[in-house]
Amino acid sequence: MAQRICPHCYTPFELKDILFRCSNPDCVSRRDDRLSELLGEDRILHPVVPAKKKLFGAPEYGICPECHQKTYKVICPHCHSQVPAHMVEEGGKIISIIGAQSAGKTVFVSVLIEELMRYGYKLGDIGVMASSIADTVEESTQYRYNEELYGPIYRDKVTPQPTERREGKKRPPFIFEMCQKGQPSVFLVFYDNAGESFHSVADMVPDAKYLVHSDAFICLIDVQQIQDVKNKLNVSDASFKIHNPDFGFVPNNIIQYCQSDEGKANASILKKPMAIVLNKFDRIYNNASVFNMQDVPGIGKNRVDSFFKQKGANGVKRSDFDQVHAGIVSFLREECMEAKGNNFINNVSNNFTDFKFFGTSPLGDEPVDGAIGNLNPFRVLDPLVWCLDELGYKLNIVD
Ligand SMILES: Nc1nc2c(ncn2[C@@H]2O[C@H](COP(=O)(O)OP(=O)(O)O)[C@@H](O)[C@H]2O)c(=O)[nH]1
Ligand SMILES: [Mg+2]
Ligand SMILES: [Zn+2]
Ligand SMILES: [Zn+2]
């Protein structure tokens, strides 16, 4: 029978094994040990309810042994988190957004969702919804998207608070569902944890299941992490929370993990679509004069936004992505001294079978003391659109 992946604990389960949670507000509540363990804090909830088995297909409901009421609230049989029923019925792909601390992940996701709402219709009538599924309203993506992401950036015009590292505690992921008529949904799952899971190969081991069970990745790199860019822009080291001198350390650690004894069995990670994104590219095109390469084709001084965002355009040009990819390759070669750009390109291309480089800027400008002046997102949807295309999602392709 079909398998599904839980977007909370990333453990596969068989459809026939799903469980339910009692939804009767008057039923008893007690500590759910599994969920408390996953989240690192106590969860007092209604009982876990076994599924009413069906001969074929996924169970549809369960009957609470305590209050004898029917419940349709699906939970993961491993961690007991609520899982969107859609995800269980239809399956669907998972795209994960990864990157080091302060690479810009939180800002990127916020702007990505908003851009998808605005331009999804041009890509092939894609709709996007923040999931409302959670044990409490405050934990749902819908609520948190509004409070933590959309609110600060689009309403208050400030950068969101950095994600704090909470010892032993896990925040539930943000889950967005992208839907299109006649196609299984795609789930964009974003773990807004502090990002330290990639700081070394050893740090990756406990979280490797997130990589193994994702279908594609968007890997963000702060372009200012490149030493020569940092020097030219006079960026102080203090503005980086991590001091890894290698801007490519996240993809490199993934490669090394897949070659290690612990990771060998998971080497399929390297075959999945991997969008490698130089993020905060506004720092380059707004300061073009200090760089050797004054105009990076498509994304430099004469920045040209994604084809599908242009007036009158309707659909995706794959050649548009190819052009940006070529632009990033020449940028890396030109702007990284001592052939470090070449080295990075070689490591990536010798190990990932399906990758592409992108340049993005969610804000379009450097915020000043946390205040966003002119929000002007640039090419933020490109990596996602490319991943969807690689996963066989039906898009309006015009060349
Ligand atoms: N110049 C510029 N700075 C950005 C952009 N996006 C994020 N930043 C800066 O990077 C900081 C960290 O971003 P954040 O999304 O919190 O990083 P995270 O730790 O990866 O989630 C923000 O507070 C901003 O100052 C951008 O598009 N352009
Ligand atoms: Mg963050
Ligand atoms: Zn009950
Ligand atoms: Zn689970």
Q: Is 379 close to ligand 1, i.e. is its CB under 6 Å away?
A: no
pLDDT score, position 295 = 83
Instruction: Give, for ligand 1, the residue of 102, 156, 283, 381 to mutate: max count of ligand atoms closer than 8 Å to Cβ.
Output: 102
The pLDDT value given to residue 168: 66
224 pocket-lining for ligand 1 (C-beta < 6 Å): no
Sorted by sequence, the CB contacts under 8 Å of residue 158 that are 6+ apart come out as 152, 367, 370, 371, 372
- CATH number for domain 93-390, candidates 3.40.50.2300, 3.40.50.300, 3.40.50.1820, 1.10.240.10: 3.40.50.300
Give the model's pLDDT for residue 91. 78
Segment 180-195, tens digit of pLDDT: 888 778 888 887 665 6
pLDDT at 253: 92
Other residues' Cβ atoms within 10 Å of the Cβ of residue 24: 15
Give the pLDDT confidence score for residue 183 in this predicted structure.
79
pLDDT tens track for 21-73: 999 999 999 999 999 998 888 999 999 999 998 888 789 999 999 999 999 99
* Nearest residue to 64 via CA among 27, 99, 39: 27
Q: Residue 226's pLDDT is what? A: 92
Does residue 193 have its Cβ closer than 6 Å to ligand 1?
no
Do the Cβ atoms of 167 and 121 come closer than 8 Å? Answer: no
- pLDDT for res 198: 80
Whole-number Å distance, alpha carbon 11 to ligand 4 midpoint, is 6
Q: Is the CB of 195 under 6 A from ligand 1?
A: yes
The structure tokens listed for 227 are 């030493």
Where the chain has pLDDT below 50, the residues are none
How much is the pLDDT for 167?
64
Alpha-helical (H) ranges within the chain are 33-39, 85-90, 105-124, 141-144, 201-204, 208-212, 227-232, 249-259, 282-285, 318-335, 340-351, 382-390
Q: Domain coordinates of the chain in residue numbers? A: 3-89, 93-390
Pocket test for ligand 1, best of 111, 115, 159, 299 (most atoms within 8 A of CB): 159
